[in-house]
Amino acid sequence: MKSLIDIRDLTTGEIDELLTTALDIIAHPDRYARKCCGKKLATLFFEPSTRTRLSFEAAMYELGGSVLGFSEAQSSSAAKGESVADTVRVVSYFADIIAMRHPKEGAPLVASMRATVPVINAGDGGHNHPTQTLTDLLTIWREKGRFENLTIGLCGDLKFGRTVHSLIAAMSRYAGVKFVLISPDELRLPGYIQTDIMERNGIPYEETTDLAATMPALDVLYMTRVQRERFFNEADYVRLKDSYVLTPAKLETAREDLCIMHPLPRVNEISVAVDDDPRAAYFRQVLNGKYIRMALILKLLEVD
């Protein structure tokens, strides 16, 4: 039994396999409609979610399986003080696979050590979000046709933005990738990701506060929301929340084949006027999330 806690739990070959399966699902959805008949997915969400939870649920339904779970900690026994370890041990009796989101970093890892079924990390605090990264990889593949030789701008809250942390870990495996880290000083990427991932893999990167200056060099621009729920005080959030707002005017110097991504939800960081730009990939990105989660469920349940 295998879980997915960190994107680095998957080899590059396994990621390729998942992408191939997702592309096949997109081409032949009918072939997959009954693959998970009789199987159950439990979604244990101790933190708010729209896309991640619903795309997991849609994915399981489209595979012919069914879904149970909760969407807030208050409606589970966590509100009575039950530990994550006990919760997943119990849920293992009811479901074949678990997707868990939790505000505490490491909670899904603990869950995977106690569950008797595979556990998928659907986001743990400000740490990791591997299935968003699989979504992002499928999006980059479909939009750009390659992973190699890309200059990727990551913009916004790089400190608490867990999707960025996992995406860097995944993209650091491909040749010719370069990162441009664009954030206010207070929201810079955690030092451990710079040293343990980028420097260890010899990945070139630069840090800047200036989105406009880097725009012409970018193949991918990955915007993120300032993660209000991880701030210690509201005044800091208010001061930093609108550090970057992408508008059509700011895209004037961008490449014609730029791919604009965002894990969503968006608050203010991309103007709605950008949505009609053909380079805006963030809603296509959402749909990719369903297909890649279908592929992941099949893999972890060892369905042919």
Kindly list the catalytic residues: 51-52, 80, 101, 129
Using the minimum distance from each CB to ligand NCD, give the nearer residue, 65 or 263: 263
For 31, what's the count of Cα atoms within 13 Å in the CB-facing half-sphere?
Answer: 12
The CA-based diameter of the chain, rounded to the nearest angstrom, is: 55
Using the minimum distance from each CB to ligand NCD, give the nearer residue, 92 or 280: 280
CB 51 to ligand NCD: min, Å: 5
Q: Which has the closest alpha carbon to 197: 154, 156, 165? A: 165
The residue with tokens 């200056």 is 213
Cα separation, 56 vs 290, whole angstroms: 7
For residue 266, give every residue at least 6 positions away whose Cβ sits within 8 Å of its Cβ, in sequence order, or none: 223, 225, 282
Cα separation, 58 vs 54, whole angstroms: 6
The residue with tokens 């012409």 is 216
Per CB under 6 A, residues contacting ligand NCD are: 51-52, 123, 129, 132, 162-163, 225, 263-265
Q: Which residues pair with 270 in a beta bridge?
A: 246
Could you write out the DSSP letters of every residue in 145-182? Answer: S-SSS-EEEEES-TTT-HHHHHHHHHHTTSTT-EEEEE
CB 157 to ligand NCD: min, Å: 8
Using the minimum distance from each CB to ligand NCD, give the nearer residue, 6 or 178: 6
Using the minimum distance from each CB to ligand NCD, give the nearer residue, 39 or 263: 263
